[in-house]
Amino acid sequence: MRIALLGPPGAGKGTQAARICQTFHLIHFSSGDILRAEKMFGTSLGRRIRDFIDNGLLVPDDLMIQIMEQRVLAARDGFVLDGYPRTLPQSQALKRILQAADMPLDLVLNFVVDPKVLARRFEGRRICPVCLAVYHVDTMPSKIPGVCDHDSHELIIRQDDMPDVVRKRIETYQESMAPLFAYYAQQGDFKTIDASGSVDDVTRVVLDKIRRHFEAATAS
């Protein structure tokens, strides 16, 4: 299975991608996490992309395509893309790369969320700065408030979850994604998910859509 998740920052793509991967034994590629890890470790790539991330701007396409290309091609047993592609050139490059390797995308899920729900999700989001686990103070709290369940580090608010950066990220998302929706809608295998509900409710809908999609594909 090769699946891409589209949706604004805060739509829950990361959480749902992790659950999809656990259920169907796929590899999770979060472009945001990959970039943040490079930034945190101060690699040469990290230094090149730092300002884009900290200001909520998109990393240039040529760099992004290069970063994701080797990873997806190595995941021959299937993957879930979360946060990539984010522009039309990225989608076109992805299609070209995957087609050449005879491993096309099977399904694109587009997460849509009520803007008020989105705002609340950002206010409560916390992450572990070490293992990058994501929590929410109301909907997905850690067992001990403010402390990571996995490695006991103190949870923080991500620099790019600060209100001004969030606003910029959502604006950037809306501008860059419009042509992508048209592109994927034309190609079929594009399904919309209302991701405003609870994490578990959204997971049920997502897993059900995926199962139905693959059952129908196998039957035909």
Catalytic residues: 13, 86, 125, 158, 169
The residue (of 5 and 202) whose beta carbon lies closer to ligand AMP is 5
The 3 state secondary structure assigned to the chain is: CEEEEECCCCCCHHHHHHHHHHHHCCEEEEHHHHHHHHHHHCCHHHHHHHHHHHCCCCCCHHHHHHHHHHHHHHCCCCEEEECCCCCHHHHHHHHHHHHHCCCCCCEEEEEECCHHHHHHHHHHEEECCCCCCEEECCCECCCCCCECCCCCCECECCHHHCHHHHHHHHHHHHHHHHHHHHHHHHHCCEEEEECCCCHHHHHHHHHHHHHHHHHHHHHC
**Between 180 and 206, CB nearer to ligand AMP:** 180
Under the rule (CB under 6 A), what is the footprint of ligand AMP? 9, 31-32, 35, 52-53, 56-59, 64, 83-86, 90, 160, 169
Residue with tokens 């059952």: 215
Compute the least distance from the CB of residue 43 to ligand AMP, in Å.
15
CB nearest ligand AMP: which residue? 32
Could you tell me the smallest distance in angstroms from the CB atom of residue 132 to ligand AMP?
A: 10
Least distance in angstroms from the C-beta of 163 to ligand AMP: 14
By beta-carbon proximity to ligand AMP, the closer residue of 136 and 169 is 169
Nearer to ligand AMP among residue 131 and residue 144 (C-beta):
131
Provide, rounded to whole angstroms, the least separation between the CB of residue 9 and ligand AMP. Answer: 4
